[in-house]
Amino acid sequence: MMKGILTNFGVKHVDFSDSGESALRSCRGKDYQLLMVEYNLGSKNGTQLLEELRALRLIKPTALFVIVSAETDRAIVLGTMEMAPDDYIIKPFSQRLLDSRLQKAWNKRQALSSIYQCLDKQDLPRAILACQTLIKEKNRYSAVILQMMTGLMCDVGQNSEAMRYLEPLLKERDLPWANLNLARAKLGLEEFEQAEKILKVLIKSQATNVEAIDLLAKVQLANQQKEAARTTLERSVELSPYSMKRHQFMVEVAKANDDHALVKDSYGHLLNLSRRSVHAGTNHLFNYTRSIIENVAHCDEPKQIYKLQNELTSTLHRAKTEEGRNLDFAYSALEGVIHAQLQSAKGESLISKKTLMEAIYQFCSEDDEWDLPDELAPDACITLINLNDFELASVFAKQLDEHSDIAQDLHARLNDDSVTMTKAEFSKITRQGIEAYSADDSLEALQLFKQALKLSPVNSGAVLNVAQAQIKLMQDKRKYVKLLSAECKESFRVLGGMKLSKSHQKRYDKLRHEYESLIKK
C-alpha cells in the first residue's frame, strides 16, 4: 500500500527497512530524497534515527524526513516535533492527505534549500545571508524564513539586529514565534526582566510551548533566580521528557541549586535516553555513577546510602550488556574503577586504593608506563584525588580531553591552592628524607618519610619509603627490631594484596625478604 502511494507521488524507487539499524545501514549506502519513518522502530525510534542520520551526515539537506505514527501521546508528539522532522503524520491517513502533506513539505524544503545547505555545513553567518536574499526575493515562505533568520541571529549574537526585524513585526501582529525570538534577543542583551515578561505572557496563551518554557528557565537562571529556574524547567520536563538537551540543562540548573538528588536523576534520564541513540557510550554512564557516588558522599543516613549503593549496583549490572558491549577492554576494569570511587567517597581509603589498582594494573607496562583507556582516566583521577595520591592522579590527568567539563573540573582540583601546597610539601619532605637516608641518617629519614605519608596515606611509594627506613634502622641496630617490627609489619599490611607497578612490586618483594630475615634472627 505504502509503495503504491509513494509511486503515485512520483517516487521511482522504494526501499524498505524493518528496524532503525537496518535503515541506518541503507542510508550509509544510498542517498535518499524521502524517508518515511515509523516512530516505533524497535530498539531505536524514529527521532533517534533522524538525530543519528544528521549527526553522521547521512541525510542530504534537501531530503525530506517524515515520521508517521499512531502515537498521540503528548510527550511523544512534543518530543518528536522538537527534533524538527519535515512532518509528523498521524495514522491512519488517506492517500490524498499523504500526497498533500508530502507536496507541501517538499515544496518548502526545496524553496529553502539554500538555507539548509548552509545549516548542513554549520555556517550560520552564510545561512543568515541566504535568509536575507530569499526575503528580498519575496519568497512565498518569507514568514518562515524570517523566523529562521532571527533565530539564527540570536545564535550568533546579533541580538540587536534580530530585534530590528522583530519589534516592527510585533507591532502589526502578535506572533508566538516572534515573541519567542524577541525574548531570546533580550536574553542575549541581558535584559532579563523584559525577556521574562514576554515569555510569561506567551506561556499563558500557549501552556505546552516547551521551547518558551525552556527559555524562561534560562532567563531565570541567568538572572540568578535559581529556584524559579528549577520549578520552570520541571514543568517543561513533565510536558516533554524525551529531550536529552532539556535533561542536560536540568543538570546545570540542579548544580546551581546544589540539588545533588536532582543532578543524579537527570543524569539517569540522560543515560536511559542515550542508549540505542547516536549518544550511546560510557560518558553518560560515568556521569550517572559519579552523581550516585556524590549523593553517597553527602548522605548521613545509612538506609539512604544502602539504597544508593543498590542503585549503583543495578546500574552497573545493566551497563554490562549496554555500554559494556563495545568496550576495548574488560568490563571488570570499569566496574573496579567505579567501585573504588565509591569506596573513596565513603572514606575507605585503603580498600579504595587496592580496588583501583586491581582494576587498572593490567594497563601498566613492564617499564612502568601507563596506557589507561581514556574512558577510565577521569574516574581513576577522581578516586586518586580523593585519596590524596596526587602523583598518580597527575599522570592520568595528562590524557584527559582538555575540552571536556570533567577534565576542566579535575585540572581545577589538581591546581587548587591547597592541593598545590600539599603536593609541593610532599615532594619537599620526600626529597629531604631521601637525602637523609643517603647520608646514613635513617632515623631522620624515617621521621621525614612518616610526615610525607601523612600527606598521602595510600601512596605506595611513600609506604615503601617508610618500610625501607624502618628496615635500615633494624639492620643497623638490633634494639630497633623490637621497637619497629610491628610498625614495619603494618607497612607491609597496607601494601599487602595491592597491585603495584613493576618497580614498586620489585622493591616491595626485596624489602619483605629483608624484613623476614631480620625477624628470624
Q: What is the pLDDT of residues 350-378, one digit of tens each?
A: 999 999 999 999 999 988 899 999 999 99
Counting residues of the chain whose pLDDT is more than 90, the rounded percentage is 85
Give the pLDDT of residue 95. Answer: 85
Give the pLDDT of residue 89. Answer: 92
Q: Is the pLDDT of residue 128 over 70?
A: yes
- The mean pLDDT of 205-213, rounded to a whole number, is 97
State which amino acid sits at residue 245.
K
In angstroms, the CA 393 to CA 119 distance is 42
Domains of the chain: 1-111 (3.40.50.2300), 271-366+383-399 (no CATH), 419-520 (1.25.40.10)
In angstroms, the CA 78 to CA 345 distance is 40
Report residue 7's pLDDT band, with 50, 70 and 90 as the boundaries: confident
Q: Which of 269, 276, 240 is nearest to 81 (CA)?
A: 240
In angstroms, the CA 401 to CA 364 distance is 20
In angstroms, the CA 250 to CA 260 distance is 12
Q: Residue 276 — left, alpha, or beta (φ > 0 → left; ψ -120 to 50 → alpha)?
A: left
In the sheet with 64-69, reading across from the earlier edge strand, the strands are 34-38, 64-69, 87-90
Q: Is the pLDDT of residue 41 over 90?
A: no
Is 175 buried (19+), middle (13-18) or exposed (0-12) by CB count in 10 A? middle
Q: Is the pLDDT of residue 326 over 90?
A: no
Q: Is the pLDDT of residue 98 over 90?
A: no
Angle between helical axes of 390-397 and 417-438 (0-180°, round to 10): 120
Segment 279-307, tens digit of pLDDT: 999 999 999 999 999 999 999 999 999 99
Report residue 94's pLDDT band, with 50, 70 and 90 as the boundaries: confident
Q: Is the pLDDT of residue 150 over 70?
A: yes
Residue 388 DSSP symbol: T
Note the Cα 390 to chain centre separation in Å: 24
Give the pLDDT of residue 418. Answer: 94
In angstroms, the CA 35 to CA 29 distance is 14
Average pLDDT over the chain reads 94
Give the pLDDT of residue 182. Answer: 98
Report residue 519's pLDDT band, with 50, 70 and 90 as the boundaries: confident
In angstroms, the CA 430 to CA 449 distance is 6
The model's pTM is 0.91
Q: Which of 452, 402, 413 is nearest to 432 (CA)?
A: 452
Cβ atoms within 10 Å of 319's Cβ, excluding its own: 22
Give the pLDDT of residue 453. Answer: 96
Give the pLDDT of residue 202. Answer: 98
What is the largest distance, in Å, between two alpha-carbon atoms of the chain?
102
Among 71-75, 125-129, 334-338, the least confident range: 71-75
Q: Is the pLDDT of residue 5 over 70?
A: no
In angstroms, the CA 185 to CA 153 distance is 8
In Å, what is the CA distance from 398 to each residue of 128, 357, 370, 407?
40, 18, 11, 9
- The mean pLDDT of 436-447, rounded to a whole number, is 96
Q: Which of 329, 294, 330 is nearest to 312 (CA)?
A: 294
Which residues of 85-194 form beta strands (DSSP E)? 87-90
Segment 225-269, tens digit of pLDDT: 999 999 999 999 999 999 999 999 999 999 999 999 999 999 999
